[in-house]
Chains A and B, each alone.
Chain A
């Protein structure tokens, strides 16, 4: 009898517990925003979630640029216990969808009218076979060129608008004893410069064909050879000590006047601003020579969860992520621009204004393109194969023709 009553009590308790939980949206969020500014940005979301009555279970997994978090996610999904929301981006969202583990959040997306406020090509990344399965957080622009304003004016150089101008300016600076290009020799940084060059020389249409559709004709074209030629020229503009340097140290070289330019996404702006420098006065920001806009959109993919409390949590989370308040505060902290196009940018700096204006313009002209180097255009195996060739070419004396033939082979081998 005793046992029985204990069992009954336990059952009642658990019933109570679920009852309480029903009233309370739950969300477990897996992300790797653990560094200072990023952690502050996530805390904004966390507070907002709590103020709407939700219980947020934080699951930050630092390390390896998300590799560690992806390993944790794999383990969770395989054990049938996926988190509510996971920081994922680009084609990785569709890759997880194909594993059959993503949820459909179309109801909240339609209720909030996401389709009207997000640029179409960015909205596409958030859709899995016609249903919404992820919520975008921000837009980082990749094809930025940053410059030390003092060095440029002292040498009478304007911001370059073509790659020929860039080369001429770099040679002039080199003659004056200044490192023209601050760069860190890590594979992803090589790839970042490469895609900026590819977009500039090939143009948006070529970029779309080569790095989104992996069209063999584009990959083997003379344009691709010309792009590798320009990379070889760029190799001459970095200092001899660049191997393995972290990107923020390269940014510091521009700040300290050791180098003139850096080609890097707009997270570099955070470094300049943290050092108390003013855009337009101490440092300059401009899109890299050529037309187009390469974006890197962080987003949260929503995983299939059980229980009404978890589904409520997921819905609330999705609503808040795309909500105006979070989009504004988060991006102000992180240096990116909101994915929503209807946010007032009065508090943002001039580089963010340029970025937002260019995003609107390139949406119109169809040149708003996903970054291949940051995993927005291709799946991991394919973009990795291209990066292998790019970094091998940049760090050796491989000829451009060899690089192109290796590129084609690597892409074919990665399918």
Chain B
């Protein structure tokens, strides 16, 4: 009995969470896929009608805007956060005296919720309250910084707030990576008289490839599911200029009673996530099997 238990206890312990994940994650993905093929409006209906919800989705200019915004926001958010995070990490890595304090300063934005970040930046970027009015108050009457209320630039304010929030976290990831590089190799390189810049670009950064990958995965899923930041910062506006797929889905499902349309947009969002995550999982699994 005890031997049987010993052999099976891991399976027994894992079973409830396995069942829960099968139902609440994969089961509901399947349900959403089904509903996305129906004419569901207010309540879900289950007569499959084919792919016409996807046709409606791709015909909607608002969805186009949302996907474009996701592309702009995702690319810039991931790129700038990584570059900035790496830069701060390298600067902090120079064995400076107040590293502990500085590290905390840069990491703290991550402790805030996106709602707080969004609201704070909404005030900072508001032309009548924030940076623009302050600089104009200093006497630079022609200074203009109205991105938040300009439909062509509003999406970049979301990038600014997002980068501010996430780059400290990326810095922490990179700092841990920098510290884990074998110090012997670095010393050997220093003995050989190789300049510090070269040590970073040729030795340290290449050896941190897995960290780049983790940072990329974390940031890209933050970008795709980004919802609260947009709601707090711009509310999707001006107009729907800063809509993201997640806010589009919310509007369709909960404000407009158009569940089929919301389900089809959710499926497209999931496909976007899969195109990023699946290659990652694939490479991870293959590395383990080798």
CB of B88, distance to nearest CB on chain A (Å): 31
Nearest B residue (CB) for A101: B43
Q: Which of A64, A240, A381 contacts B149 (CB 8 A)?
A: A240
Q: Which of B56, B238, B254, B256 contacts A243 (CB 8 A)?
A: B238
Question: Within 8 Å CB of B128, what residues of A?
Answer: 239-241
B146 within 8 A of A: yes
Known: A67-B254, A99-B43, A406-B61. 16 other contacts (CB 8 A): A96-B42, A186-B235, A240-B128, A244-B235, A381-B258, A384-B251, A384-B258, A388-B60, A391-B240, A392-B240, A392-B241, A394-B239, A395-B237, A396-B238, A396-B241, A413-B56
Q: Which of A65, A381, A413 contacts B256 (CB 8 A)?
A: A381
A410 near B149: Cβ-Cβ < 8 Å = no
B177 within 8 A of A: no
Question: Within 8 Å CB of A380, what residues of B?
Answer: 255-258
Give the docked Cα–Cα distance between A241 and B130 (Å). 11
Which residues of A in the span 202-244 have a Cβ within 8 Å of any Cβ on B?
A: 239-244
A316 within 8 A of B: no
CB of A96, distance to nearest CB on chain B (Å): 7
Q: Which of B44, B239, B255, B257 contacts A396 (CB 8 A)?
A: B239
Question: Within 8 Å CB of B62, what residues of A?
Answer: 388, 392
Among A186, A242, A395, residue most surrounded by chain B Cβ atoms (within 10 Å)? A395
B240 near A74: Cβ-Cβ < 8 Å = no
A384 near B256: Cβ-Cβ < 8 Å = yes
Which residues of B in the span 54-85 have a Cβ within 8 Å of any Cβ on A?
A: 56, 59-62
A77 within 8 A of B: yes
Nearest A residue (CB) for B62: A388
Known contacts being A185-B238, A241-B149, A413-B59, is A64 close to B127, with CB within 8 Å? no
Nearest B residue (CB) for A392: B239
Q: Which of A67, A68, A240, A413 contacts B60 (CB 8 A)?
A: A413
Among A64, A242, A243, A381, residue most surrounded by chain B Cβ atoms (within 10 Å)? A243
Give the docked Cα–Cα distance between A410 and B61 (Å). 8
Give the docked Cα–Cα distance between A381 and B154 (Å). 26
Can you list 30 residue pairs at the A/B interface with Cβ under 8 Å? Answer: A64-B254, A74-B42, A77-B43, A78-B43, A78-B44, A95-B41, A95-B257, A185-B149, A186-B237, A187-B239, A187-B240, A240-B128, A240-B149, A241-B126, A241-B128, A244-B237, A380-B258, A381-B41, A381-B256, A381-B257, A384-B255, A388-B61, A388-B240, A393-B239, A395-B237, A396-B238, A396-B241, A406-B61, A410-B61, A413-B59
A92 near B240: Cβ-Cβ < 8 Å = no
Which residues of B in the span 18-48 have a Cβ within 8 Å of any Cβ on A?
A: 41-44
B226 within 8 A of A: no
A residues with a Cβ closer than 8 A to B are 64-65, 67-68, 70-71, 74, 77-78, 92, 95-96, 99, 185-187, 190, 239-244, 379-381, 384, 388, 391-396, 406, 409-410, 413-414
Contact with A along B214-247 (1 / 0, CB 8 A): 0000000000000000000011111111000000
B265 within 8 A of A: no
Question: Within 8 Å CB of A240, what residues of B?
Answer: 127-128, 146, 149
Question: Within 8 Å CB of B127, what residues of A?
Answer: 240-241
A74 near B43: Cβ-Cβ < 8 Å = yes
A64 near B255: Cβ-Cβ < 8 Å = yes
Question: Within 8 Å CB of B149, what residues of A?
Answer: 185, 240-244
Question: Within 8 Å CB of A406, what residues of B?
Answer: 61
Question: Within 8 Å CB of A241, what residues of B?
Answer: 126-128, 149
CB of B124, distance to nearest CB on chain A (Å): 14
CB of A29, distance to nearest CB on chain B (Å): 20
Question: Within 8 Å CB of A78, what residues of B?
Answer: 43-44
B237 near A70: Cβ-Cβ < 8 Å = no
Question: Within 8 Å CB of B146, what residues of A?
Answer: 240
Nearest A residue (CB) for B238: A395
CB of B2, distance to nearest CB on chain A (Å): 37
A410 near B60: Cβ-Cβ < 8 Å = yes
Give the docked Cα–Cα distance between A99 and B146 (Å). 47
Nearest B residue (CB) for A190: B239
Give the docked Cα–Cα distance between A394 and B237 (Å). 11
CB of A175, distance to nearest CB on chain B (Å): 20
Question: Within 8 Å CB of A99, what residues of B?
Answer: 42-43
Question: Within 8 Å CB of B251, what residues of A?
Answer: 384
B148 within 8 A of A: yes
Question: Within 8 Å CB of A185, what residues of B?
Answer: 149, 237-239
What 8 pairs across the A-B complex have the smallest Cβ distances?
A395-B239, A380-B256, A395-B238, A243-B149, A241-B128, A380-B257, A384-B256, A391-B239
B261 within 8 A of A: yes
CB of B202, distance to nearest CB on chain A (Å): 48
CB of B57, distance to nearest CB on chain A (Å): 9
Contact with A along B131-147 (1 / 0, CB 8 A): 00000000000000010
Give the docked Cα–Cα distance between A186 and B256 (Å). 16
B151 within 8 A of A: yes
Give the docked Cα–Cα distance between A78 and B251 (Å). 21
Give the docked Cα–Cα distance between A413 and B126 (Å). 35
Give the docked Cα–Cα distance between A395 and B241 (Å). 8
Question: Within 8 Å CB of A381, what residues of B?
Answer: 41, 256-258, 261
Question: Within 8 Å CB of A68, what residues of B?
Answer: 254
CB of A271, distance to nearest CB on chain B (Å): 20
CB of A147, distance to nearest CB on chain B (Å): 22
Known contacts being A392-B61, A413-B59, is A243 close to B237, with CB within 8 Å? yes
